[in-house]
Structure 1
Amino acid sequence: MFFVATCLLLLPCILQAQTKTEIAEFKNWPKGTSPKEIGVRVANRFIATPHTNFNRPTPPRTITYPETCTWYGALTFAKATNDKQLVKQLAQRFEPLFGSRDTLIPKPDHVDLTVFGSVPLELYMQTKEQRYLTLGKHIADKQWGPPEGPRVKAESHYYYNKGMTWQTRMWIDDMFMITAVQSQAYRATGDTAYINRAAREMVLYLDTLQKENGLFYHAPDVPFFWGRGDGWMAVGMSELLRSLPKTNPNYNRIMKGYKLMMSSLLKYQGSDGMWHQLIDDPTSWAETSCTGMFTFAFITGVKEGWLDKKTYAPAARKAWLKLITYINADNDITEVCEGTNKKNDRQYYIDRKRNIGDLHGQAPLLWCATALLR
């Protein structure tokens, strides 16, 4: 009896030790490289940054999706660090959108615009203010509502009639844009209809676009493994699986696609920890936004127990430590591929402009910091 009682008393310590072993690579960071230190720098940079317009000097007509992704990342980082002041600042950034600057709220008639709903839904979960939930739910519901507006095409009705979102367009970018807002709506409401939608959509994209090596062309007619394009897919699956109930009929299919992609990414990671503008071309330039996205997917997989920690945790640590060396004195990350359309031309991807401080690159830094601290 004494032995059993002693074991029960020691069990929490044993479990804690096992947890520390599982994430040992995510501890003991050199000074200035920890996820909290980096996250604070990048989040404060975002707070001080006006609404951006894809690195153009003119202000945007509506909030752009890179800003949405960074805003969401800053909010998740604030939650992971219990930084109430940061939450307050991020909410203050939103306040004008309920008033004189409400025209900045994107109309939810395209995946890149609808993803904005992720932000008010996260603000609702952290502040419990109903107005955020009302707006976020409206946006998420519109994505699965009937096709409407000037963006409607023949295929919009085709996908809608199949129970998919009418905003389906078969670009791999979509698998973050769509799944993010629907997963957030599920987290905010507990209504499984949202996460079930996202899972069905993900399976459609996996079955249509994933190649035998686990990677994805930018689109069916663009046979190139573009880094950030695949990054959206990696993050989208990670975020979806993080909340998708294991009882969901599509859970195993999505997990299979995720693990296949992760094993391929491991093979293509550079010796320095980075990934490249074209994933399978080591002569193409090392690109930071995709590296951040793949690092997030690795961290999440290790933390959730989906990936072998002995294999993927060191790879994630190496990627993080190299990635953050690209952050300059202004807390802007460099070597970020500019916003990119699809084009069946390899040189088009190689020649894309390399931006500094582009929110496409700032956002994944915050996602990684959150994942490491979560």
Structure 2
Amino acid sequence: MKNSVLLIALLVLCNARIIAQQNINSRIPEYNIPYELPSVENIKDILNRIRVYYEESSNQSIVDSKTGEPITDFKSFNINAVPSKGFSSEWSYTHGVVLSAFEYIDDVLGDDAFFSNNVKFYDYVVESLPYFQKNKAKIHKEKIGGWGRILNFHALDDCGSISAAMIKTYLKNKNSDYLLLINQTDAHISKNQYRLNDGTLARNRPQYQSVWADDMYMSVPFLINMGVLTQDHKYFDDAVKQVLQMASYLYVEKEELFDHGWNVTSGDYDPRFFWGRANGWVLMSMAEVLSILPENYKGRAEILHLYRSMVRSLANLQDGSGFWYNLLDKNNSYTETSCTAMFTFAIAKGINEGWISHVYGPVALTGWNATQTRVQENGAVDGTCEGTTFAHDNTYYYHRGKSIYATHGYGPVLYAGAEIIRLLQNDKIEIKPTKRNARNSTFHFLLKSEWPKN
């Protein structure tokens, strides 16, 4: 009898211990994406993997589009001549973001391996372009392969982003051969691009007199950097004007977000779709303007307010994984890479520059932790929404494809990684990291100057 009682007591005690252990374990959060402080070395590794993937995408030559063979005789014109295929051969707005990011990484890391790609690409363009320009009358097509409408710009997409990166490259290497294309871009954006009566840059597609949020990035970084290049404040003024006037059509104060587009026909009752990358283009544009404009420049305070309000809204809309959604206010749409990287960069940039509070640090860090999971071992960036028109129904936005071939994600991921490195190395901030296997642990960003020295 005594043995039975002792056995029962022992079983009860063991069971209680098991239950207690299970209760403790069940109270420890399980994170699908690591909830921990990234390392600078790991971020550098990711940036270099993307760089190598980019570099290996094309040999940057002129080829026969029918045979794929390189053209070596440039005395007579080959009607099939096009730039070689590949991401790093493109004269495109997505490539412009990559090259701007490479130039920025050069400043952050001092690693010439990134910026050397800018010089190589733009030298390739200016050395090869005369072959097409001299034979323009023989070319009976609108686009020249991956160089698009380089002989005759029709839209902001054709020139704004890629030429903004060209200015940044010129300011470092001073290759005067770049100035022809820079000035052609200026002529298009400042004089030829369609504008509304109030001067807002616009398109007549897909609806008559349409304003796209995307066009803020397709124009404003060029304008603000043209101001740096020429020291003519008319470019600063136009950049400020575009941000504020596009906001007057697209910014929804209640949501603190930008509608993807607006057109004159629907006016005040235009349907609203808060597409992630459109808001990313806006926030990155504002970050670039705020970085360059003098502190008390007219309109800067209004832009800073828009930037801060967007950050506040985005912090609330971030998914528990660290990602943001393709439709920001629809948490049953998919989590998307390019907008997540854009917001991560712009928020980290704001902390580093003192535009927003350091308390937003965990938003940026978790954004990066999510973003880096989309970078494959070979450097390809996955999970990016394909190119997207200004649409008028949720079904379209919900079903946009995503892949490694949507090159809109590469530049933003590069930018985000560089800015997170700056954040981790920010000597004004103390970062208290999370503790592994803890029931209650989060990041705390502390502003050193707020605390007593002892």
Q: What range describes the TM-score normalised by the shorter chain of this pair?
A: 0.7 to 0.9
> Is the contact between residue 295 and residue 320 of structure 1 (CA under 8 Å) also seen in structure 2?
yes
Q: Structure 1 38/188 Cα, relative in aligned 2: closer, same or farther at 3 Å?
A: farther
Where in structure 2 are the equivalents of 1:217-228 lying within 5 Å?
217-220=259-262, 221-228=270-277
CA-to-aligned-CA distance 1:304-359 (integer Å, 9 cap, x gap): 1111102x111101110111011112211111100011211101111111111432
> Is the contact between residue 288 and residue 336 of structure 1 (CA under 8 Å) also seen in structure 2?
yes
Bigger relative contact order, structure 1 or 2 (CA pairs below 8 A, ≥6 apart): 1
Matched residue SS, 1:145: helix
Deviates more, 1:190-199 or 1:331-340: 190-199
Where in structure 2 are the equivalents of 1:264-279 lying within 5 Å?
264-279=313-328
> Is the contact between residue 196 and residue 248 of structure 1 (CA under 8 Å) also seen in structure 2?
no
Q: Which residue of 2 aligns with 1:95?
A: 123
- Which of residues 42, 46, 52 is equivalent to 1:44? 52
Q: Which residue of 1 aligns with 2:364?
A: 316
Q: Structure 1 96/222 Cα, relative in aligned 2: closer, same or farther at 3 Å?
A: farther
Is 2:212 aligned against 1:171?
yes
- Which of residues 384, 401, 422 is equivalent to 1:353? 401
- Which of residues 215, 218, 221 is equivalent to 1:180? 221
Q: Which residue of 2 aligns with 1:81?
A: 109
Q: Which residue of 1 aligns with 2:296?
A: 247
Where in structure 2 are the equivalents of 1:23-38 lying within 5 Å?
29-30=38-39, 33-34=42-43, 36-38=44-46
Q: Which residue of 1 aligns with 2:282?
A: 233
> Is the contact between residue 210 and residue 261 of structure 2 (CA under 8 Å) also seen in structure 1?
no
CA-to-aligned-CA distance 1:19-73 (integer Å, 9 cap, x gap): xxxxxxxx96347632x2222221222222238xxxxx97799622112211221
Per-residue deviation, 1:85: 3.9
Q: Which residue of 2 aligns with 1:263?
A: 312
What value does the CA root-mean-square deviation take over the aligned residues? 2.5
Q: Which has the higher helix share?
A: 1
Is 2:192 aligned against 1:143?
no
After the TM superposition, which segments of 4 or more aligned residues of structure 1 sit over 6 Å from their partners? 57-62
Q: Structure 1 129/121 Cα, relative in aligned 2: closer, same or farther at 3 Å?
A: same
> Is the contact between residue 226 and residue 349 of structure 1 (CA under 8 Å) also seen in structure 2?
yes
Is 2:176 aligned against 1:130?
yes
Q: Which residue of 1 aligns with 2:413?
A: 365
Per-residue deviation, 1:241: 1.1
Q: Separation in 2 of the partners of 1:141 and 1:342?
A: 26
Q: Separation in 2 of the partners of 1:91 and 1:173?
A: 27
> Is the contact between residue 259 and residue 275 of structure 2 (CA under 8 Å) also seen in structure 1?
yes
> Is the contact between residue 50 and residue 378 of structure 2 (CA under 8 Å) also seen in structure 1?
no
Sequence identity percentage: 25
CA-to-aligned-CA distance 1:198-230 (integer Å, 9 cap, x gap): 001111011121002111111124521111111
Q: Separation in 2 of the partners of 1:31 and 1:136?
A: 35
Q: Separation in 1 of the partners of 2:346 and 2:39?
A: 22
Residue 318 of structure 1 aligns with an amino acid whose one-letter code is T
Q: Structure 1 87/320 Cα, relative in aligned 2: closer, same or farther at 3 Å?
A: same
CA radius of gyration, larger in: 2
Q: Which has the higher strand share?
A: 2
- Which of residues 231, 245, 251 is equivalent to 1:210? 251
Is 2:123 aligned against 1:114?
no
How many residues get paired? 331
- Which of residues 355, 377, 387 is equivalent to 1:329? 377
Residue 88 of structure 1 aligns with an amino acid whose one-letter code is S
Alignment TM-score, normalising by the size of structure 1: 0.81
Q: Which residue of 1 aligns with 2:336?
A: 287
